[in-house]
Structure 1
Amino acid sequence: MNKLKILNDPIYGFITIPNTLIFDLIQHKYFQRLRRITQMGMSYLVYPGAHHTRFHHAIGCVHLMQQAVKVLRFKGVSISNEEEGALYIAILLHDIGHGPFSHAMEHSIVNNVSHEAISLLFMEHLNEEFNGSLTLAIQIFKGEYPREFMCQLISGQLDMDRADYLKRDSFYTGVAEGNINSERLITMLHVVNDKLVVEEKGIYSVEKFIIARRLMYWQVYLHKTGLVAEQLLIRVLKRAKELHVKGDKLKASAALQHFLNNEVSLKDFNSETLGVFANLDDYDIISAMKDWQYHDDFVLGNLSEMIINRNLLKIKLKNKNIKSQSLEKHIHALIKTYHISDYEARYFVFSGSISNQAYQLKHNSINILHKSGKIEDIVKASDQLNLKALSKPVTKYYICYPKEIL
């Protein structure tokens, strides 16, 4: 069977699968599940084209990692065949732990279990299945491998993950501001003292990359409509779980039923739970909400209908903290109109905050290698005054409440 296949990707053109192990991992049911997990959660309610999946993204990341390995080897950086294979595996599987709609699961039907933690569990399980051939990849994924630049290629401020998702999300949303030149960025990479650096002539590409990241966060990832849709989804799952606990057995797939029935935290993730989680994807949630919109529970019925028919709550963004009087005003109006409890009303009226920091000065910084051999942080090396401002977090506050009638 020909395992060294070529895939056609709308971003990069033809992508080759580098070896038979990568092919076998892609073919595995755990990885195939990523075809059914949307890369950008509920963003398709804002950008109709944003239906691409985690599967697309992971394959794109492997392609960029192949480019990076080729460039670094050309510049004399030693990367063994075993290390090369491990880099491909680590970047291929870096997002394998994402639940339905990418981030909503982490805050609703599992108890603060991050997708990174679940990705690691999947990798460890696959390592047993593939006779220990993922051991080095897991070490790199966890950031424990002594060659730091390899860990930075998987998870850093200029990693292959970001290099793919900015370009890919920009393409599928049609938001041109995120369209970075990932090929140019990778061509400018080098390694000094086992740490990743960018050659001086790549400085403008790095500046564009950081600015694109900031614009994509405000314009796409933290777009207020996408934000309110995700908050509604979190609340739908929370309410469904509450009703389930009270004995109201909701119609749902077997995998979703398991998570509604059980309190699942990281310590509960044994191989059986992982197997159930692997059967959970966007379709389970959409299918459940199509039924739940007709449920006689005021909260679950209305929240589900809002998402299914894109009839969302009103959301306002402000620069200052939301006053409690604003919330109470909307809560009282809701209680009076629909004769519901204060607790139920708070499912429809709530506030929160979002933060955007395009570049972190102290965490795994992007370093520029000057021709003289001097290495300095991009913020110091750049004449773009904006970059210093972009390294400070900007916080905005939001309030959500119903439009005239539910």
Structure 2
Amino acid sequence: MTNKFKIINDPVHGFINIPHEILFDVIEHPYFQRLRRISQTGLLNLIFPGATHNRFHHALGAMHLMFTALETLRLKGTVISKEEEKAALLAILLHDVGHGPFSHALENMLMDDWHHEKLSLLLMNKMNEEFNGELSMAIEMFKGQYHRKFFNQLISSQLDVDRLDYLKRDSFYTGVAEGNVNTQRIISMMNVSGDELVIDAKGIYSIENFLTARMFMYWQVYYHKTAAIAEYLLVKILSRAKFLIAHGNELPASENLWYFLHRDQDQKASEEDIARFTELDDNDIIQAIKLWSKNEDVVLSYLCQCIIKRKFPKTIISSKPFDKAFINEKIKKTDERYGEGCGLELVDEISRHLLPYNSEVQPIYLLQKSGDKITLDQSENQILSSFINQLNTKYILSFPREI
């Protein structure tokens, strides 16, 4: 008999327990093991060398924080059955199982309008059949259909265990200290009121620190101008590859990537699509980029060499859109250097948007000593909440350094 009650040593949270046998079986499943080969932060390691962690790490960490949160709620009087505990742990463990290569960067490029959450749900349903319905309650919680709302809020909300783990984990691996949130303090302040997740009022500053840490991580790490361009380059590469294939060119690629590059964009997802998608990982993309970096197409080879040789385009960041005349000048110079039409492909203006805290959709509630609930931004003790509910936008212009 296999011992399924394992202990995993995690560099961020320490020892992680697997308290239910089904969790071990799910972790061992090929769909979940694929996450070892899916980067948590795309190409961030080209900017922050330590950021080499993967979705497998993150999923285990989120499961650990979920277990800690449920234990905290139990201590505060919330009745949670063993079946509910198991379901919540399964739901958070599998919340990212549908991620494609390089996580968010190539979402929609391989499976068109298939968001990773849609694919995660589809794979959870397939696994549920294999495990004779043991994931049914977990799927309900994941979809937000379970009658106790706080379970879904722990999985997906403005203060969920998913965010708590990725902020702490990404901060650890990138070395950006501003994102290092105190997960234990935040979880210790969690409570349930009217079947909704709330925070004890005295934890307000820990929550504000969490929201500002997330904001700093986005602008310093995820939306760092070079990181943003690196991610965009991946999209451009696949887009260019699809364009060339549609015009009769053949490009070398692994069998599964070749399949998606040639796949009809308008067809509905088939069983073969799902089977092949669950065999795709970062290695397929990197292998293709290496091969295409020597392609005779100037645009494709240039984009691929940017990644392989880490020779990124020149980037400029601004709080407002760039002047059209300035962009056209860069396009003209690129055409002169690389050939007619290359400017439109190699000069790009992209934007990144961030709303640090949405006070309108799923606001964070504070539980007063009187038992009343108020939103975070309504508290007279709040310091920053009323200032971080504004949408911020940054614009990034990229163009070849040679011009």
Instruction: Place the TM-score, normalised by the shorter chain, in its bin.
Output: over 0.9
Aligned to 1:21: 22
Distance 1:32 1:346 in 2: 40
Q: For residues 3-402 of structure 1, what are the structure 2 equivalents within 5 Å?
A: 3-264=4-265, 268-341=268-341, 344-381=342-379, 383-402=381-400
Shift in Å at residue 263 of structure 1?
Answer: 3.1
| Cα deviations by residue, 1:261-312 (Å, 9 ceiling, x for unpaired) | 10346x6222221110011111111111111101111011110011111101
In 2, are the aligned partners of 1:203 and 1:382 still within 8 Å (CA)? no
Higher mean alpha-carbon deviation, 56-65 vs 143-152, is at: 143-152
Higher mean alpha-carbon deviation, 84-93 vs 241-250, is at: 241-250
Gaps of 5+ in 2: none
In 1, are the aligned partners of 2:377 and 2:386 still within 8 Å (CA)? yes
Higher mean alpha-carbon deviation, 112-121 vs 30-39, is at: 112-121
Distance 1:384 1:327 in 2: 43
Q: How many residues align?
A: 402
In 1, are the aligned partners of 2:293 and 2:303 still within 8 Å (CA)? yes
In 1, are the aligned partners of 2:333 and 2:343 still within 8 Å (CA)? no
Distance 2:46 2:124 in 1: 32
| Cα deviations by residue, 1:115-166 (Å, 9 ceiling, x for unpaired) | 1111111111111111111111111111111211111000011101001011
In 2, are the aligned partners of 1:38 and 1:102 still within 8 Å (CA)? yes
C-alpha RMSD of matched pairs (Å): 1.3
- Secondary structure at 1:145's aligned position in 2? coil
TM-score by length of 1: 0.96
| Cα deviations by residue, 1:221-260 (Å, 9 ceiling, x for unpaired) | 1110000011111000111111122222211111100110
In 1, are the aligned partners of 2:376 and 2:382 still within 8 Å (CA)? no
Distance 2:69 2:382 in 1: 26
Gaps of 5+ in 1: none
- Secondary structure at 2:358's aligned position in 1? coil
In 2, are the aligned partners of 1:36 and 1:53 still within 8 Å (CA)? yes
Identity %, equivalent residues: 48
Amino acid at match of 2:15: F
Shift in Å at residue 112 of structure 1?
Answer: 2.6
| Cα deviations by residue, 1:35-94 (Å, 9 ceiling, x for unpaired) | 000101111111000000000000001100111111111111111221111101100000
Shift in Å at residue 201 of structure 1?
Answer: 1.9
Distance 1:326 1:163 in 2: 41
